[in-house]
């Protein structure tokens, strides 16, 4: 019975891939090479609106993440990782805005929107300077 339950749960654990495509989890390292602490943030959607939520990364510190990259997206230029870098003094977590205005409404220092190919080209390391 336990094996049967695991078999049914595997597709649910596959991440956010469409049509239950298996995902590859690649470590992506964000390196804050600047002299300032920054916010490393992701975009979330709730009730048709979006907000950013993130973590403080001190100078010379790293943050490792492993976003799912669906097999159908490998070797494709489809954007698979979107990261926002913000100034902690100006950043407001969970500030709900229209999804198409996130870049205008949040005071951002940098915006990354990368494909798997672009991540591979930088050896899965994002260096913020």
Please give the Cα distance from 54 to 105 (Å, whole number).
16
Terminal Cα-to-Cα distance of the chain (whole angstroms): 53
> Which range scores top for mean pLDDT: 11-15, 51-55, 65-69?
51-55
Residue 117 or 44, more confident: 44
pTM of this structure:
0.75
Q: Domain spans of the chain?
A: 29-127
Rounded to 10 degrees, the C-alpha dihedral 111/115/121/122 comes to: 30
Q: What is the mean pLDDT of residues 43-65?
A: 93
Task: Classify residue 61 by burial, with Cβ atoms within 10 Å: 0-12, 13-18, 19+.
Answer: middle
């Amino acid at each position: 019975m336990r094996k049967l339950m695991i078999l049914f749960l595997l597709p649910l654990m596959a991440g956010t891939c469409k049509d239950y495509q298996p995902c590859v989890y690649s470590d992506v390292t964000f390196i804050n090479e600047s002299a300032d602490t920054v916010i490393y943030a992701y975009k979330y959607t709730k009730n048709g609106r979006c907000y950013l939520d993130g973590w403080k990364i001190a100078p010379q510190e790293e943050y490792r993440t492993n976003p799912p990259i669906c097999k159908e997206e490998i070797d494709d230029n489809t954007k698979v990782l979107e990261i926002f870098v913000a100034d902690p003094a100006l950043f407001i977590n969970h500030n709900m805005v229209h999804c198409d205005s996130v870049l205008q409404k949040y005071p951002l220092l940098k915006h990354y929107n990368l494909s798997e190919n672009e991540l591979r080209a930088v050896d899965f390391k994002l260096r913020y300077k």
